[in-house]
Each structure stands twice: as C-alpha cells, then as structure tokens.
C-alpha cells in the first residue's frame, strides 16, 4: 500500500532563517506531487506541483521554492522565511491528473 511521509511535524523558525520541508511517498512510482499551505482557519492553497523529477510548476509567486530530486521525494524550501509563511503545510500525491489526492500528516510551521 502507498504511504506518504512528511517531516518535521512541527517547526518554529525565526524570521529570515532558511526552511526545508521534506515529503516522501512509498509504494508507488512516478506520482504527481503537490505542496499546499493552509493558513489558520482557512482552506488549502496550492503552492507547487510536480509531474516528474525536476518538473516543478508554481501556482503562487512567493519566497518559497520546491524541488523534486528523486521520483518520490518532494522538498519545499525558502532562503529567508517571512512571518506570513506561518501555516500548515501539506504534501499530497496522486496517481494521475484525474484521480484523487492523498495527503501526508502535514508540518505546522510557526515563524516568529
């Protein structure tokens, strides 16, 4: 069966510090991968998605970036965090464009 992992589960970082969140998927090959952010009490906002290694599409201009160094690994990064980057970050995968997405447990990021 397929599983999706995210770490860390929680993170507190000062403004201006770098960020690296990791997401890995097991039990499937060539998944579509997604990064979402959920601000407190809000819906999900798609940040990045990837249909293959090295292929990244950005949905929202910001100081975040994403990379996919391996087929089942998706990384969300920032060189300098802003207060507005605080939120709940969710990674998801799908087997293809028309299919449902399955989410990881999420990372709660607080920028102080």
Partner 1 sequence: AQKITQTQPGMFVQEKEAVTLDCTYDTSDQSYGLFWYKQPSSGEMIFLIYQGSYDEQNATEGRYSLNFQKARKSANLVISASQLGDSAMYFCAMREVIQGNLIFGKGTKLSVKP
Q: Which residues of the shown chain bind partner 1 in the complex (CB under 8 A)?
A: 34, 42-46, 49, 59, 88, 90, 92, 97-98, 100-106, 108
Token pair in block for residue 69: 């160094």
Positive or negative: CA dihedral 33, 96, 38, 47: positive
Select 16 or 26, whichever has its Cβ closest to partner 1.
Answer: 26
- Nearest approach in angstroms of CB 9 to partner 1 is 9
What is the number of H-type helices and E-type strands within the chain? 0, 11
| Choice between 14 and 96, CB closer to partner 1 | 96
For residue 102, count CB atoms less than 10 angstroms from its CB and return exposed for 0-12, middle for 13-18, buried for 19 or more: middle
Give the nearest distance from C-beta 80 to partner 1 in angstroms.
26
- Give Dmax over CA atoms of the chain in angstroms: 39
The nearer residue to partner 1, 34 or 74, going by C-beta atoms, is 34
65 vs 88, beta carbon nearer partner 1: 88
CB of 16 to partner 1, least distance (A): 26
């Amino acid at each position: 069966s397929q599983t999706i992992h995210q770490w860390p589960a929680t993170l507190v970082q000062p403004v201006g510090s770098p960020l690296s969140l990791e997401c890995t998927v097991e039990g499937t090959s060539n998944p579509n991968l997604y990064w979402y952010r959920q601000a407190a009490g809000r819906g999900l906002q798609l940040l990045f998605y990837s249909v293959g290694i090295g292929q990244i599409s950005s949905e929202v201009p910001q100081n975040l970036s994403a990379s996919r160094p391996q087929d089942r690994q998706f990384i969300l990064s920032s060189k300098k965090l802003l207060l507005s980057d605080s939120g709940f970050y969710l990674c998801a995968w799908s087997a293809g464009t028309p299919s449902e997405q399955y989410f990881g447990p999420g990372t709660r990021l607080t920028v102080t």
